[in-house]
Chains A and B, each alone.
Chain A
Amino acid sequence: MSEQATVAAPRVKPVETFRGDFTYSNSPEAIRRFPFPFHRDDYMYSVNIEPHDGTPPGSAYAPAFDIDEHYLSEMAERRTVLEEDPKRCQVLPYMMEAQWDTLELMMTSLAADYPEHFSLTRDGDTWTWENRLLDIRDTFTFKDADTLPLEPFEYITRQVQGDFTLHGQRNDMLYMDGGMVTCQADWSLDFDLGMNFYEWHGPVPRAHEMGVFERALKYLLTLKVGSPVRRLNWTMTVNPRMDTSPENYDKWGIDRATITPDNVGELAHLRVELQSLWRLPRSNAILFSIRCYLISMEELATVPKWARRFHRVLRDLPEDLADYKGFIGFRPTVLDYLARHDDGAATSPGGAPD
């Protein structure tokens, strides 16, 4: 799939910040390719899984792992988070095969999708990896962890945008057996490590009663090598802050009280996760990729269809979901802002801009 989906080398911005002075913003091109998650004017949970098959060409969905203009910023942010809290990257000891599976999948995918930025040369088990964006060039022996500066999973996920978790499959069940989690929407790898599929989804309202997790688990247990799948999830975040972790709640929880009618367009962000799931061939484990995109309400409103539709989705979202997603307090202010951009006109089907 990656072979067909070669993506033009993205223009990568210099480092912007996701904390402190929050210099992060989206260029007009980044706004156009934002994975807007609402295909209709209303929203409810569903398993909503589709093949992650390299389509549509040119979109954020096409590459195996999307690299965009924020690459350097997100990699710098990840380094900062890990310096403060090394437990954001943990892998249980029996997952070494899955670590190498992940490294191979990411290196081959990035080299195929972005040949200008990444290359992989393999001579038997002697591999040379080049990441020109981060100025990395390493020659190592595949399957010999001593030849890499870090364990293989941490080594490669410090070079790919998005959070990643590793799931062992045993007893017809998936377990949270590892991850690199630095840009999460209020969940903790350190807390969830070792949990099973139902346990780590415990806090999600409604979906258990709807049988969503039984169906999703059944589906994932038969996920096939070479046939990854994807879905979208969303919430709202105040400021373009990647690290909204429980560990750092004291730093960002209070932000939600700072939204006013004057700053809402700049401060309130729609946060979208492009989640993809991959069966790893040798370990039979599953790699879960959670790629986070942030867009401010001001930026969103530059696409009239999105402003109209998000206004309607947010307005009609049940209270318990708004509470679980953490924005029930400032929802009215966002709705006032978006209402000014919603003239009641009909919206076209699908999530793409008109």
Chain B
Amino acid sequence: MSAVDSIPVRVAAIETVSPFIKTFTLEPTDGGPLPAFSGGSHVVVTMQGRDKNHRNPYSLMSSPYERRFYQISVRREDDGRGGSKFLHGNVRVGDQLFVSPPANLFALNELGRRHILIAGGIGITPFLSQLYELRAQDSDYALHYAYRRADDTAFLDRLAAEHGERAHFYESSQGHYLDPGRILAEQPLGTHVYVCGPEGLIDTVVTRARRLGWPASHIHAEEFAAPPSGRPFTVVLDKSGDELEVGPDDTVLDVLEDNGYAPDCSCRGGVCGECETAVITGEIEHHDDYLSEEVKREHSRMMICVSRAASERVVLDL
């Protein structure tokens, strides 16, 4: 997202939904309607911090039919790179932020005859916008929502009231565990399953579904993994000759943007493929779900939003 593509928004409301989760309501600063979107879309939120800008992707959880505001829910990640802590600790009602136009990497399949949504913790957010669509289209669907403790999540009452018997809840602190194998085993042909949450949950659902014979085209996963930290390294831009230092908690993409470059990018999570960059020399520690294993082994390309150098220096074709 370059500056041209960003939409200025004002923080209209902040709701503390649990000790770790806040919901932010964002209104367009210029008063005009925000871009329409489809359920499962995310935006990249840009926050102007004192020392650096933070840019994090968040799923839109408000109704796709609502264009006066967007809503996002943010879980505070104390070990993260600082974006969620900044939103929790520094952002006040009335502050200005920027959002990218919405993009969707986790859309419902319109041909699905039945939709099973499996959420773990904060992974509920993309489903909140999709549920508006499923209800409006009178689709056949079920939500399975696993979380640690009821006071750790705020959406329970609303989901129970709006979706009745279609919503199933699993509170692990009470000894209720979501069993993906059982849920998946009893679905009719033509069902699509969607999973968002911690890596372990996603792996279990995908593995179970494959083992039960589900086609890959009917299994959809969205992993909102933050870029991992790692050893610092130097990135050399071949075309300009610039040498930039990437700190343990920075990404190559962040560092490029902080130095005035505007590389193509969208998801900032190693999924969409937009920031694919050719590597001239250097070893890459890949963290993306986009490049093929073959390309990864060659160290010829990298996704600069999540992947890091395994060598001390990496020369990129930029």
Binds B, one of A181-189, A240-248, A259-267, A279-287: A279-287
Q: How far is the CA of A68 from the CA of B241 in the complex (A)?
A: 48
Whether B278 sits at the interface, judged by CB under 8 Å, is no
In the bound complex, what is the Cα–Cα distance between A36 and B143 (angstroms)? 54
Q: Which residues of B contact A282 (CB under 8 A)?
A: 36-38, 64
B101:A222 contact, CB within 8 angstroms: no
Interface segment, one of B81-89, B103-111, B115-123, B279-287:
B103-111
Given contacts A222-B272, A222-B274, A281-B35, contact A227 B64 (CB under 8 A): no
Which residues in window 25-52 of B have CB below 8 A to A? 35-38, 41
B266 at the binding interface (Cβ < 8 Å): yes
A170 touches B274 (CB 8 A): no
Q: Is the CB of B273 within 8 A of A225?
A: no
Contact with B along A187-224 (1 / 0, CB 8 A): 00000000000000000000000000000001001101
**Within the assembled complex, what's the spacing in Å between the Cα atoms of A168 and B64?**
18
- Interchain CA distance A222-B37 in the complex, whole Å: 14
Whether A350 is near chain B, meaning CB under 8 Å from some CB there, is no
Q: Does B173 contact A (CB under 8 A)?
A: no
Q: Is the CB of A225 within 8 A of B102?
A: yes
Q: A227 contacts B101, CB within 8 Å?
A: yes
Q: Does B5 contact A (CB under 8 A)?
A: yes
* A-contact bits for B274-312, CB 8 A (1 contact / 0 none): 100000000000000000000000000000000000000
Q: B217–A171 contact, CB under 8 A?
A: yes
CA distance A205 to B36 in the complex (A): 38
Quick check: A281 and B38 within 8 Å, CB to CB? yes
The answer to the question of A90 belonging to the interface, with a C-beta cut-off of 8 Å to chain B, is no
B102 (CB) vs chain A CBs: closest residue: A225
Min Cβ gap B136→A in Å is 10
Complexed CA–CA distance, A226 and B64 (Å): 16
Q: Which residue of A lies closest to B104 (CB)?
A: A284
Q: Which of B58-102 contact A (CB under 8 A)?
A: 64, 101-102
Q: How large is the interface on A (under 10, 10 to 19, 20 to 34, 35 or more residues)?
A: 10 to 19
Residues of A near B109 (CB, < 8 A) are: 170-171
CA–CA, A281 and B56, complex, Å: 21
Contact with A225, one of B35, B111, B217, B272 (Cβ below 8 angstroms): B35
Pair A281/B103 contact, Cβ less than 8 Å: no
- A282 to B35, alpha carbons, bound, how many Å? 9
Say whether B64 contacts A225, CB under 8 Å.
Answer: no
| Identity of the chain B residue whose Cβ is nearest the Cβ of A104 in the assembled complex | B36
* Cβ–Cβ < 8 Å partners of A170 in chain B: 107, 109-111, 217
B residues less than 8 Å from A284 (CB atoms): 38, 41, 104, 107
**Please, which residues of chain B bring their CB within 8 A of the CB of A218?**
273
Chain A interface mostly: loop
Q: How far is the CB of B271 from chain A (nearest CB, A)?
A: 10
Which one, A94, A171, A224, contacts B103 given CB within 8 A? A224
Residues of B within 8 A of A222 (CB): 103, 266, 272-274
Q: Which of B5, B102, B273 meets A281, CB within 8 Å?
A: B102
Residues of A within 8 A of B102 (CB): 225, 281
Give Cα A283–Cα B37 distance, bound, in whole angstroms.
8
Question: Once bound together, how far apart are the Cα atoms of A223 and B273, in whole Å?
Answer: 12
Q: How far is the CA of A95 from the CA of B38 in the complex (A)?
A: 13
Q: Which residues of A contact B5 (CB under 8 A)?
A: 224, 226-227
For B266, the chain A residues whose CB sits under 8 A away are 222, 224
* Cβ contact of A169, chosen from B37, B41, B107, cutoff 8 A: B107
A119–chain B nearest beta-carbon distance, Å? 18
Shortest CB-to-CB span from A56 to chain B, Å, is 18
- In the complex, which of the residues A169, A171, A225 contacts B101, with contact meaning CB atoms closer than 8 Å? A225
Per-residue contact bits, chain A 122-141, to B (CB 8 Å; 1 contact, 0 not): 00000000000000000000
Minimum C-beta distance from B151 to chain A (A): 35
Across the interface, do A225 and B110 meet the contact criterion of CB distance under 8 Å? Answer: no
Given contacts A224-B103, A226-B101, A284-B104, contact A94 B35 (CB under 8 A): no
Contacts of B41 in A (CB 8 A): 284
Contact A283 B38 (CB under 8 A): yes
29 of the cross-chain contacts (CB-CB < 8 Å) are A94-B110, A94-B111, A95-B110, A101-B36, A170-B109, A170-B111, A170-B217, A171-B109, A171-B217, A218-B273, A221-B273, A222-B103, A222-B273, A222-B274, A224-B101, A224-B266, A225-B36, A225-B37, A226-B101, A227-B5, A281-B35, A281-B37, A281-B38, A282-B64, A283-B38, A284-B38, A284-B41, A284-B104, A284-B107
A interface residues, Cβ below 8 angstroms from B = 94-95, 101, 168-171, 218, 221-222, 224-227, 281-284
Closest 5 CB pairs of A and B: A281-B36, A284-B38, A94-B110, A171-B217, A226-B101
Known interface pairs A224-B266, A282-B38; 11 further A-B residue pairs with C-beta atoms within 8 A, sorted by A's residue number = A101-B36, A169-B107, A170-B107, A170-B111, A222-B272, A222-B273, A225-B35, A281-B102, A282-B36, A282-B64, A283-B38
